[in-house]
Amino acid sequence: MTIQQEAGREVGRPRKRKEDARLLTGRSRWTDNLSRPGMLHVMFLRSPMAHARITRVDVSGARGLPGVVAAFSGQDFAAEQGSLPCAWPVSEDIVIPDHPPMAVSEVRYVGEAVACVVATDRYRAADALEAIEVDYEPLPAVLDMKQALTADSPKVHEAGNKAFSVKINSGDIEAAFRDAPIIIDRTYRQQRLIPCAMEPRAVLADTDGDTFTVWSATQIPHILRVMLAVVTGIPEHQIRVIAPDVGGGFGSKLQVTAEEVLCLLMARKLGKPVKWAESRSEGNLTVHHGRDQIQHIRLAADADGRIRGLQVDLLADMGAYLMLVTPGIPMLGASMFNAIYKMDAYEFGCTGVFTTKMPTDAYRGAGRPEATFAIERVMDELAAELHMDPLEVRRRNWIKHEEFPYTTISGLTYDSGNYEAATDKATAMFGYDKLRAEQADRRDRGDPVQLGIGVSTYTEMCGLAPSRMLGEANYAAGGWEHGAVRMLPSGKVEVITGTSPHGQGHVTAWSQIVADALGVPFEDVTVLHGDTAIAHKGMDTYGSRSLVIGGIAVLKACEKVRDKARKLAAHVLECSPDDLEFEAGAFKVRGTESQKTMQELAWAAFTAHDLPDGVEARLDSDATFDPENYSFPHGTHLCAVEVDTETGMVKIRSYVAVDDVGKVVNPLIVEGQVHGGIAQGIGQALFEEAVYDAEGNLLTTTLADYLLPSAADLPPFSLDRTESPATSNPLGVKGVGEAGTIASTPAVVNAVVDALRPFGIHDIEMPCTPERVWRAVSEAQEGVRR
C-alpha cells in the first residue's frame, strides 16, 4: 500500500497502535476478568424447543443445591423485566411484539432463556441448572419465510408473521421495464450468519443500594444506559454502564440483551454483584444473527447494457422478536441497491417476517452487504447476457467522476468518488488481461481446474448518521457524536470520546488527530472512553461512524481549545489575538521571536495567576458533531479463484482491493480493517452458514460446524487506495469499518460463477461449498449428456 503523508503531521502516519502492547501481553480487562467482592455467578437454562408454551417451571430442585444462592424463572421477573427495546419502527404497519428478557409463558426460539441459577461459582450454577424442571407444550416451529407468510401458517406471534412491509418508488418503473430489450431476473439468498466476535458476551452488574453499575462487553454503553433505564424503570442517573476492553463486536454487541437486563435485575434482587459470561456455543445460539434475506432482484437494460430500471423485493427474516435495530437492517440497504449506477427508475420493497429462530440484527455492513451483493451479482449476469466484460458493463453505467456530487435514483447525494481511478488501479495490480487470457486457455483445454474472475465495484453509505436523516427514517435516536479535550496542567492532553472502541484503535487515531490540531506530541495524548461516568455523552460505535463523526467531534473540541489558548496567549504576550499564528504547538507573534507553547498556556490556565477578564481557569472544551450527509466510501475489488471441477473446491488465488475511504488518518489501521473485512466477506461467500434443522434446532453451535476462515485459508491481499476526500467533514474521511466485508462477498461469488459459466451455471448459493459447486457441475454435465 502506498502511504502518503504530509511532513510533520501525525494524520496519515502508519502509527502502531497504542492499545496493542497491553492487549498482546494479556494486560487487558475483559468483563469476564473483572471481580467484585462477594460476586455471584449466573447461568441460564435455555429453551430446547423452537416454539412451545411453557406450562410449568420448577426451580425448587436447584435451590437447595450446594453453592446455590437463588434460582429464578420468568415468572419471578415478570413484574419488573419490561420488554427488550426495538428502536427502529421502520413503517406505519410495524408489529413490535412484547419481548420479555426471560420467557414467561411461551418460547419462540431455541436458546431463549427460561430460568437461571445464581451460585457462588459457575460450576455449581451449571450443575444446578440440571435440577430445574420445565414442561413445554410444543407449538409448531415456523422456519421458512415464504411459508410463514401463507394464510394457513402457524403463527410466531398472535398478530401474525408479518412484521412490516415497506415500498419505495423513484422514477417510472413500469416504463423502464416496458419493452426493455433485456430483463435479468434473479433470486439470491443471503444466508444467516453468526457474528462470532472473538470475545464472547459477558455482563457484571453491581449495586451499592442506590446506584447500579453494569459492566458489559458492549459496543454501546451510552445507548445501553438509557435503554436499561427505559426497560427496568431504574432512573437513568442511577445507572452507570462501563464497557471495559471489548474484543470485537461486528454489530453483535450493538444490542440491549436479555442477559444485561436480567443481571441488573438480579443485582437489585440480591443486593450483590452478579456476573454472567457466555460460552461459544451459548453465543452461537443467542447472540443475534446477521443477514438472512431472500432477495428478488430484476434489472431492465437496453441492448447496449445501459440500465433502465431496478426492482428489488426482499423477504427479511427478523427471527422471533424485533431487537434494537432488527427491522432497520434491511432498510439500511434500501438506498444502496442502485449502488454506483445511474438508472431511470428504482423500486424497493421489503417484508419483515417473524420465524422461530434467533432474532437477526446488525452484522458488519448491516443491510449494505446484502444490497451490494445483489446488485454486483446482477451486473455480472447482465454482462454475461450481453457477452460483455463485467468491467465494461459497469463503466457504461457508473457515475463518472466529473458528475459528483450526484443525487442517485434512491435519493442519496454522493459527495465524492472516482470509480474510474479505483478500477484502473485495481485492474493494473491484478493483471486483469493476463488472467482473462489464462482463463480462456483453461476453458479451451477443458482443464479440470477452471479460473474465475470476480468483480465488485462497490460503494456504501457510512458514518451513521446525520440525525436529520435518521429522524426521517423513523430511527428513535440521533446520530451526532461527542468529544471533549482537556489540557492537563503539565501540558499533556486528555481526550474523552463518545465512541466506544472494541478493536478499532480509536486511542491511536484520536491521538493523531489531536496531536496535529494542538501541536502536541502523539505520546502526550490519552483517550478515555466507554464509561458513562467519564465519557458522559455519546452515541457509541457502529456503522463505520466513529472517525467520521466521533473523530470530527474531537477535532472540533481541539479547535475550541485552541481558540481559548489563543486568547490566553494574546493576553500573556500582550498582543492582539489576530497577531498570533499557530505553528508546531505554539502561538507566535507574527514577525517576532515571542511565543507561548500549548504546554506553557496549559500551566498558565492551571495557575490562573494572570488570566484576562472573562477567561475561565481551564483549557478544555467539548463539541458535538452531526454531519450533513453520510459518507460514501467506494472501491474496486477483484478476485481470482481456481475451481477444482472434480471436487468442487474453490481456492482463492489472488485478491486485489483498491478502496477509496477518503483521507486516511492511520494507514496501518485502515489496512487492518480492510484485511479483516475482506476475510469476513469471504467467510460469507465460501464458509459460513447458520443452519437450523426442520424442528428449529440450531445445528451450527460450535466452530467445528460453523466454519470460520483463518489466515491459513486466505490468500495474501494486495491493497491500495485512491483518495477522494469526503466533503461532509473537515478531515475528508469516510470510514472503513465495513468496506471490506461489503465488497468482498460479491467479488468472490462472481469469481466462482465466472469460473463455471462454461458449464452453463449462473449461480451458486452461498456459502459456495465444495459440495454445492460439485452438485452444480454434476447436474450441468448430466444435462449436457442428456
- Site residues (CB under 8 A) for another protein? 43, 122-123, 126-127, 279, 281-282, 646-647, 649, 687, 691, 699-700, 702, 704-705, 707-710, 712-713, 769-771, 774-775
Under 8 Å between Cβ of 226 and 9: no
Smaller CB separation from another protein, 116 or 242: 116
Smaller CB separation from another protein, 305 or 683: 683
Q: How far is the CB of 585 from another protein (least distance, A)?
A: 48
Q: How far is the CB of 244 from another protein (least distance, A)?
A: 23
Query: 584 burial class (0-12, 13-18, 19+ CB within 10 angstroms)?
Result: exposed
Task: Map residue 467 onto helix, strand or coil.
Answer: helix
Smaller CB separation from another protein, 292 or 620: 292
The rounded distance, in Å, linking the Cα atoms of 108 and 98 is 12
Smaller CB separation from another protein, 712 or 784: 712
Q: How far is the CB of 26 from another protein (least distance, A)?
A: 16
Smaller CB separation from another protein, 144 or 713: 713
Smaller CB separation from another protein, 43 or 223: 43
For 464, how many CA atoms within 13 A lie in the half-sphere containing its CB? 26
Phi-psi region of 730 (alpha: psi -120 to 50; beta: other; left: phi over 0): alpha
Query: 786 burial class (0-12, 13-18, 19+ CB within 10 angstroms)?
Result: exposed
Under 8 Å between Cβ of 381 and 184: yes
Pairing mode of beta strands 481-487, 620-625? antiparallel
Residues 6+ apart with CB under 8 A from 437: none
Q: How far is the CB of 447 from another protein (least distance, A)?
A: 15
What DSSP assignment string belongs to 667-721?
HHHHHHHHHHHHHHHHIIIII----B-TTS-BS--STTTS----GGGSPPEEEEE
Q: How far is the CB of 692 from another protein (least distance, A)?
A: 11
Q: H-helix or E-strand containing 637?
A: strand 634-644
Q: What is the DSSP letter of 599?
A: H
Q: How far is the CB of 675 from another protein (least distance, A)?
A: 17
Q: In Å, what is the CA distance from 421 to each residue of 373, 400, 418, 634, 723?
A: 22, 10, 6, 11, 9
Smaller CB separation from another protein, 65 or 183: 65
Pairing mode of beta strands 307-319, 290-301? antiparallel
Under 8 Å between Cβ of 736 and 460: no
Q: How far is the CB of 43 from another protein (least distance, A)?
A: 8
Alpha-helical (H) ranges within 64-136 are: 74-77, 122-129
Q: How far is the CB of 278 from another protein (least distance, A)?
A: 10
What DSSP assignment string belongs to 611-633?
PPTT--S--EEEEEE--SS-B--
Q: How far is the CB of 262 from another protein (least distance, A)?
A: 19
Smaller CB separation from another protein, 533 or 691: 691
Q: How far is the CB of 742 from another protein (least distance, A)?
A: 23
Residues 6+ apart with CB under 8 A from 277: 31, 32, 122, 200, 201, 202, 203
Smaller CB separation from another protein, 404 or 774: 774
Smaller CB separation from another protein, 429 or 707: 707
Q: How far is the CB of 751 from another protein (least distance, A)?
A: 17
Q: In Å, what is the CA distance from 106 to each residue of 20, 54, 101, 237, 361?
A: 45, 5, 12, 34, 22
Torsion angle of alpha carbons 538, 540, 546, 548, nearest 10°? -50
In Å, how far from its chain's centre is CA 5? 29
Smaller CB separation from another protein, 12 or 648: 648
Q: How far is the CB of 281 from another protein (least distance, A)?
A: 7
Q: How far is the CB of 192 from another protein (least distance, A)?
A: 14
Smaller CB separation from another protein, 37 or 66: 66
What is the residue type of 710? S
Task: Map residue 215 onto helix, strand or coil.
Answer: strand
Under 8 Å between Cβ of 60 and 259: no
Pairing mode of beta strands 634-644, 449-459? antiparallel
Smaller CB separation from another protein, 521 or 770: 770
Smaller CB separation from another protein, 348 or 706: 706
Nine-digit cell string for 630? 453520510
